[in-house]
Amino acid sequence: MMDGKLLLVSNAEGLTAQNVIQRYKSLADIERGFKVLKSEIEIGPVYHRLPERIRAHASICFMALILHRVMRSRLKAADAGYTPERALEQLQRIQHHRVRLNGGEPVAGVSTLSTEQNEVLHALGIEKPAAPEQLALL
């Protein structure tokens, strides 16, 4: 009679059955967030003693998770076919260079963007990196 049923019990007073179910479902979302932090974002354990450092570390983890989720939702909405990890792999190849030849004025530029990099930037709604000129050699 109970096969396929999930029994939720709570000691919190004043919660309706709907509230208990909603809180239980949000727990799964929080656990997925921790899994992303550990595996995909690769934030390892860091041991802090000072309260301000603990808060700072937690804030950085929270911001990383939010950015990951924003990337995932934008890539999905654009039907780009990229995961956040694959998109970051493409974007980390973009380089900014500053070159000075024979004591002349320095020339700065951004490496030529590949088709995939342009697709990722477009899907994320981010403008292309701007520099005075693009260096085609790179």
* Side chain identity, residue 52: E
pTM of the model: 0.66
- Cross-strand pairs, 96: 110
CA angle (128 as vertex; 123, 131 as ends), nearest 5: 170
DSSP 97: E
pLDDT in tens, 19-64: 988 888 888 888 888 888 888 877 777 888 999 998 998 898 889 8
Whole-angstrom Cα distance, residue 104 to residue 63?
A: 42
Determine the pLDDT at residue 132: 56
pLDDT in tens, 101-138: 888 888 888 888 999 999 999 999 998 877 555 555 44
pLDDT in tens, 74-97: 999 999 999 999 999 999 999 888
Phi-psi category of residue 79: left, alpha or beta, with phi > 0 → left and psi -120 to 50 → alpha: left
Rg of the chain on CA atoms, in Å: 23
